[in-house]
Amino acid sequence: MNFDPMMLVLSVIPSGIGFVLLVYGKKEGRVPHIIAGLLLLVYPYFTETLTSMIAVGVAIGAGLYAALRLGW
């Protein structure tokens, strides 16, 4: 596991967005927001490069967008 200080600082960005989505999802009772928020909170701990962090974050965001467009 890589404990690069810059990666730890950059992991705060998706984790912060995930926290906001989680709180919003719990408040409004929105399951897709809760799931996306939890995923955004956890995944930075498992990515080792900035490229993979961005790719996974975009994929989670696209999944949330697709779920909302499908009427969840």
Tens of each residue's pLDDT in the chain, 72 residues:
567 888 888 999 999 999 999 999 999 999 999 999 999 999 998 998 999 999 999 999 999 999 999 998
Which pTM value belongs to this model? 0.89
- Go through 1-33 and write b for each residue having 16 or more CB atoms within 10 A of its CB, e for each that does not: eeeeeeeeeebeebbebbeebbeebeeeebebb
Domain boundaries in the chain?
Answer: 11-69
